[in-house]
Structure 1
Amino acid sequence: MWLEFFLSVSNKCTFTGPASTDDIIAVEKQFGVKLPEEYKGIILETNGVKESYELGLIWSLERVIEENLRYREQFFKTYYMPFDSLLFFAESGIGDLFAFPIINQIVCKEDVFVWNHDDDSRRWVAPSVSKYVEWWLNGCIKI
């Protein structure tokens, strides 16, 4: 279902094999959050989606862990507001990252925000992962 959705938006998407429920549980435990249902459905079908230029449209869960741990290190705390309220899952290709909002240890909405690495702003861009994919690939999201 999700592979067909991605390909209906862009025929340049490439996919990796699916993640397991245990992989999802590991991410949820690592960051003490509950991931959005739509996102889990995507990850259970493909553990990562790339688009043209190898852009990480949806990161693998391994990369989600790696990048989110990196952005929570002391170096970034020196220059930016804390990232504990965001769970990054994708990249723009120019340094900005897409994330789910975290409130009280819960990804409380399916909404997607973009973090701007230049000015440290965080801005709403889509009501769900599927809309983020559609709007990003169709050029509706401007960053």
Structure 2
Amino acid sequence: MIGGVWRELIWEMYPEAVLADPVDEVALSEVEKRLQLPLPFELASLLREVDGVANEYGDAVVWSARRLVEDNLGMRREPDYRELYAPFDEMIFFGDSDMGPQFAYVHTDYGPGIVVWDHETDRRRLVVVSLRDYLARCLIQGNSWFR
């Protein structure tokens, strides 16, 4: 089994986590190229160790590199979304929960932060500033922490 800082941290917090194999540098470069945004350092670092993280119920806590591209481009290009929601062009969605909200990186005055986006209201609320805190909250505290 491949080791790494992120793998060890995730398994320490949540032994039931399902971790995919790492993604290569070519795939990471393709994500940035297709989304026209740089990946936050910590997200790229995690993807180099695991190309996606799921909890024991199959919720995609962190999406694969492929899903990052597909879902983000899909949301940016969807005509109904353009009419209903503020633009997603400066966001990188990377995870979700079974309850509907999705999580994205946004740039703040202090650097990248992670917001929870509610598709019913288009509300975008800063919830954490680090991927480590996001993982701890998703994996340890479950879905109730972001309400």
Normalising by structure 2, what TM-score? 0.88
Give the aligned residue type for 1:95: G
Give the aligned residue type for 1:43: L
Give the aligned residue type for 2:128: A
Which structure 2 residue ranges, 5 or more long, are not aligned? none
Contact 1:68–1:88 (Cα < 8 Å) also in 2:
yes
Aligned to 1:58: 62
Q: Could you tell me which of 74, 81, 89 is aligned with 1:76?
A: 81
1:36 aligns with 2:40: yes
Give the aligned residue type for 1:19: V
How many residues end up aligned between the 2 structures? 139
Q: Could you tell me which of 98, 108, 128 is aligned with 2:103?
A: 98
Identical pairs, percent? 29
Aligned to 1:7: 11
Residues 6-56 of structure 1 deviation map (CA, whole Å, 9 limit, x = unaligned): 011111101111001111110111111111111111100010111021000
Contact 1:9–1:137 (Cα < 8 Å) also in 2:
yes
What is the CA–CA distance in structure 1 between the aligned matches of 2:86 and 2:59, rounded to whole Å? 26
What is the CA–CA distance in structure 2 between the aligned matches of 1:136 and 1:15, rounded to whole Å? 15
1:85 CA displacement:
2.2
Aligned to 2:129: 127
Aligned to 2:146: 142
Moved over 3 A (4+): none
